[in-house]
Structure 1
Amino acid sequence: MRPPEEYAELRAGAPLARITLPSGRTAWLITRYEHVRRFLGNRDVSTNRLHPNFPFYLPLSRKLVEDVNASLMSLDPPEHTVLTRMVIPEFTHKRTQRLRPRVQEIVDEHITAMLDGDRPTDLVRALGRPVTSQVICEVIGVPYHDREIFDSTSEVMARRDSTSDERYQADATLRDYLGDLVAARVKEAEQPGAVPGDHLIGRMIAKNRDARVLRQEDIAALCLALLSAGHETTANVISLGTVLLLENPEQLAAILADPARTPAAVEEILRHTSITDPSGLRVALADIEVGDMTVKKGDAVVVSTAAANWDDSVFAQPEKLDFDRDGPQQLAFGHGIHRCIAQNLARVELEVVFSTLFARVPGLRLAAGVEELSFKEGALLYGVHTLPVTW
């Protein structure tokens, strides 16, 4: 449960390292915290997947690239700015805090079901995935009973060994589903006297009546990005965070004794796990200095927030889980204009899960040794396939 040891060697060497990605493309790799943060915050970098030098981590079909490029994470200003301004109000700190009681209800329901079930159980399927799936479904306006569609497609997209055809089919399946759903919501909202639903799709439809800047496919693409990233990532942090807490009982005792420390614990768990790696794929739009070296205009760049979050010049003893850690903010959500837009929602989910799970199940323990767990070594999102627990 730590980044590759080679990252430490790269951080100690040159600011930029030349790498060849599994796709066969070459790029510069940035691993130091200071450089990663500064580069991600630079406006002279692009996430445009259609750029000829874009550093795809895996080989993708041209059609899939074109589809993916329509999403928020692939847009550059000014298109990115227009869409972000419409979406940001959905995920402000204030709005996501108002969701906390509902998140609490969802977490309690799934923990109750887990306690009423058999032991041992798989925490991934009993709590991690269902909680995050249900929350993001309700926020976006997707029927929860359709979760199997995006659960299965997200799994295909997250595996490194999925073929280009498999990725395209998974993307197309989910894109078609969301396109039909948005079209149905638009049709409902156009009925006389109809009020758009109290969810992201409904509010995007209502806003678009006035702004007229989004097509139905734009709303569907936004939902796809949020749905794909909004449950699998947080579910993996729930599983890995549970392992970390059980393996560090003194830290677990600290938040049980003082629940007000849970937000700090979540930040440290996010730093420690850093499940998304590589996390920043960019192309330089101008010459950019990185330390004493220069990324030339048109160069492909990969930044590793996992390496940055374990930079021992910034985080002393990075391998140690320390809820009293001072210093700069962890970069698990990225940095700059493409920082995870749903980060506040993820924090609420993680805070509620960790504060509730161990309070309601004080005897929770792993039903297998850590060395026996099957980690997602071959996935784009790090985690565990299953997490057997008992109490």
Structure 2
Amino acid sequence: MTTFPMRRQRPLDPPDEFGVLREQGSMHRMTYPDGHEGWLVTGYGAARAILADNRFSNRTELQHQAIPARAAIAEQFKAQMPDTNRQPGMFLRMDPPEHTRFRKLLTGQFTVRRMKGLEPRIAEITEERLDTMTAPADLVEDFALPIPSLVICELLGVPYEDRETFQRDSATLLSLDGDVGSLIAAYQDLAGYLYGLIAKKRAQPDEALLSGLLDLEDDELLGVAFLLLIAGHETTANMLGLGTFALLTNPAQLALMRDDPSAVDNGVEELLRYLTIIHAGPGRAALEDVEIDGHQIKAGETVTISLPSANRDPAHFEAPDRLDLTRSATGHLTFGHGIHQCLGQQLARIEMRIAFPALLRRFPGLRLACAPSEVPMRSDMAIYGVHRLPVTW
């Protein structure tokens, strides 16, 4: 491979190249935009093994960028903003034991019990959004984005009225084809906002999550807040938007989600597997020579994993290109695997288990207000989804 496949032939399916490559094997040599010779992983077994292996590092400064449109910008950003290469508190980019310290600190904040305790409030927020919706609507702006944004704001202690700032900046930071000036401006703007918020929490702590982390240094708390705020609303928002699009174009599956409460849990897992919105990675760097699935990965080589391809591997999921809410999608890699598995996965599941059925039952005649081909897709973003979803009922 000379480039990471990004062009989709159908909006709900990964690029066809991944299926062709999987038939040839689970791992493939790939030349990165900067000339580095590394690996592309397309098979489920190899992907899961690498994600669970601590001989691979998650530190971005050790890796090479696989997406051509992002590679040059990333290098410019590193050169002009060297202090961000090892941002304290940005635990997703850390290895043990540094990663372990932050992970342990935050795990207690995201327990299954605590997340389940949020269910009544999430249901209330969902109903409030449904009450305000009038046809026609943009489901992203009116439903998919506000729900997780409100939830993460309340959880972290971020004023929801400031949403325009963090939503705008996070969208810029997740763009795959922006310019370095915009990227730096967005980073500085969001960091300045969060530093100000941290100062307010120190002066007047509340019961929210950020106030519970005030023992951290400001730079560390900034990194934690940065990661949780962006990931906490962008991921679930795009699953709600893209998931609704998938259901509206698969009426039998929509009926299951709407009418059969016993299908909801399986249905959410299947949507997570089938759609796999983290479509441009993740990456790892080998810290030593490692053999995976018969392939020798040399120390220093970057490995880029295609989660959408792994989740469509027929060796693990029967008829993987079919959306089937009755199947057991247990073991999908949408939330990752190993020590970096998504910290907020239970919160995301709860939001989707509440929001999808509530939307479909409130508006049983919900339908697209445009042709499926006219829905603008987020192929230009690190997190896949729909930019807008015009609907009516």
Give TM-score scaled by structure 1 length.
Answer: 0.91
Query: Aligned-pair distance for 1:327?
Result: 5.7
Partner of 1:324: 326
Give the Å deviation of 1:217. Answer: 1.5
1:90 aligns with 2:106: no
Q: Distance in 2 between matches of 1:141 and 1:23?
A: 41
Query: Are the equivalent residues in 2 in contact too, given 1:50–1:66 (CA < 8 A)?
Result: no
Paired position in structure 2 for 1:20: 31
Question: Offset of 1:279 from its aligned partner?
Answer: 2.7
Helix, strand or coil at the partner of 1:17 = strand
Matched AA of 2:84: D
Gaps of 5+ in 2: 1-11
349-358 vs 10-19, greater mean Cα deviation: 10-19
Q: In the alignment, what sits opposite 1:158? A: 174
Per the TM alignment, residue 249 of structure 1 is displaced from its structure 2 partner at its CA by 1.9
- Of residues 198, 211, 217, the one that matches 1:202 is 211
4+ long deviations beyond 3 Å: 20-26, 53-57, 63-66
1:229–1:25 Cα change, 3 Å:
farther
Alignment match, 1:292: 294
What pairs with 1:270-281 in structure 2 (closer than 5 Å)? 270-281=272-283
2:227 corresponds to which letter in structure 1? A
What letter matches 1:80 in structure 2? Answer: H
Aligned residues: 373
3-state SS of the aligned residue for 1:386?
A: coil
The Cα of 1:176 is off from its aligned counterpart by 1.3
Alignment of 1:200-349 (within 5 A): 200-205=209-214, 208=215, 214-326=216-328, 328-349=330-351
CA deviation string 1:180-208 (max 9, x = no partner): 111221122xxxxxxx3111111112xx2
CA separation in 2, counterparts of 1:282 and 1:234?
Answer: 24
1:69 aligns with 2:86: yes
Q: Which position in structure 2 is the counterpart of 1:192?
A: none
Task: Report the alpha carbon displacement of residue 26 of structure 1 after superposing the two structures with TM.
Answer: 4.3
The separation in 2 between residues aligned to 1:19 and 1:335, in whole angstroms, is 23
For the 8 Å contact 1:15–1:31, the answer to whether it is kept is yes
Give the conservation status (yes or no) of the 8 Å contact 1:15–1:293: no
User: Deviations along 1:99-129, whole A, 9 cap, x unmatched?
Assistant: 0111111111111000xx3x21100000011
Give the distance between the partners of 1:24 and 1:379, measured in 2 at CA.
23
- Residue 380 (structure 2) aligns with: 378
Query: Are 1:48 and 2:59 an aligned pair?
Result: yes
**Distance across 1 between alignment mates of 2:18 and 2:66:** 20
Q: Is the CA contact (8 Å cut-off) linking 1:18 and 1:26 kept in structure 2?
A: yes
| AA of the residue aligned to 2:172 | V
The alpha carbon displacement at 1:174 in A equals 0.6
The structural deviation recorded for 1:250 is: 1.8
Query: Deviation string for 1:11-53 (max 9, x for gaps)?
Result: 12243222234566543111100000010000111111233x4
Show the counterpart of 1:184: 200
Amino acid at match of 2:337: H
1:273 positional shift = 0.7
Q: Structure 1: which 5+ runs fail to align? A: 189-195, 209-213
Q: State how far apart, in whole Å, the 1-side matches of 2:260 and 2:48 are.
A: 32
Taking structure 1 as reference, are residues 305 and 251 closer, same or farther at Cα in structure 2, changes over 3 Å only?
Answer: same
How far residue 223 of structure 1 moved from its aligned partner, in angstroms, is: 0.8
Task: Give 1:211's aligned residue.
Answer: none
Residues 289, 296 of structure 2: 8 Å contact kept = yes
Which stretch shifts more, 142-151 or 371-380? 371-380
Q: What amino acid is the match of 1:67? A: T
1:39 to 21, 32, 50: 50
Equivalent pair of 2:139/2:388 in contact (CA under 8 Å)? yes
Give 1:322 shift: 0.9
Aligned AA (1:360): R
Question: 3-state SS of the aligned residue for 1:301?
Answer: strand
TM-score where L is the length of structure 2: 0.91
Q: Is the 8 A contact 1:55 1:283 kept in 2?
A: no
C-alpha distance 186-162 of structure 1, shift in aligned 2 (>3 A): same
Contact 1:26 1:55 in 2 (8 A): no
In structure 1, the partner of 2:142 is 126
Residue 142 of structure 1 pairs with residue 158 of structure 2:
yes
The Cα of 1:272 is off from its aligned counterpart by 0.8
Instruction: Give the CA RMSD over aligned residues.
Output: 1.6
**Does the CA-based 8 Å contact 1:365-1:390 persist in structure 2?**
yes
Counterpart of 1:316, as a letter, is E
**Cα–Cα, structure 1 residues 163 and 310, in superposed 2: closer, same or farther, change >3 Å?**
same
Counterpart of 2:5 in structure 1 is none
SS in 2 for 1:381: coil
CA contact (8 A) 2:27 2:43 kept: no
Counterpart of 2:123? Answer: 104
Q: Tell me the distance in 2 between the aligned counterparts of 1:145 and 1:331.
A: 34
CA deviation digits over 1:232-254, x for unaligned, max 9? 11111111111111222222222
